[in-house]
Copies of this chain bind each other. A is one copy, B any other.
């Protein structure tokens, strides 16, 4: 495998461990607030990560390998978790995400037989042509993006507790004004 491939899979393996260290057994006081008004609570983020394991990354990688650019990716439902996960406890969602991620990475190993496969092209329904390499990088950055969102929701849950220190805490200020600069 190329360094890019090894490094990206390394990060993809870490995400469920990080999410688990952050959320399994955490007191509920930390997990009931969304990242921004109208945004996602930690459980919504984990639900979305689950949806992407099921419907996004591997199905799209398979489509690239099987069809190239002749058939665009299916659309991905960013809100599939809302009804599906309504009664599932957070700890169970985290465990499910970990299990699905392990399956996805095993599947990826089968799909990328040699490094040239990463240059294969597929067709994104809105973005146009993309490579399997870009899909792999996007998968990892999507993890980082959404786990950050968990941090913002957790911080927001204790917004009222920090008193005047809020002026120094960008993670709180940006929930109200994305361009805020801490003092």
Residues of chain A whose beta carbon lies under 8 Å from any beta carbon of chain B:
3-4, 6-8, 10-11, 14, 17-18, 21-22, 26-27, 29-30, 124, 127-128, 130-131, 133-135, 137-138, 140-142, 144-145, 147-148, 151-152, 154-155, 158, 161-165, 167, 169-172, 174, 178-180
Contacts and interface: CB of A to CB of B under 8 A. Distances in A.
B7 A163 contact: no
Nearest to A4: B161
A158 B10 CA distance: 14
A141 B171 contact: yes
29 contacts: A3-B27, A3-B29, A4-B161, A6-B27, A7-B27, A10-B26, A10-B27, A14-B22, A18-B21, A127-B167, A128-B164, A133-B161, A134-B163, A137-B163, A140-B158, A141-B162, A141-B171, A141-B172, A144-B154, A144-B171, A145-B155, A145-B169, A148-B148, A148-B151, A148-B171, A174-B178, A178-B178, A178-B180, A179-B179
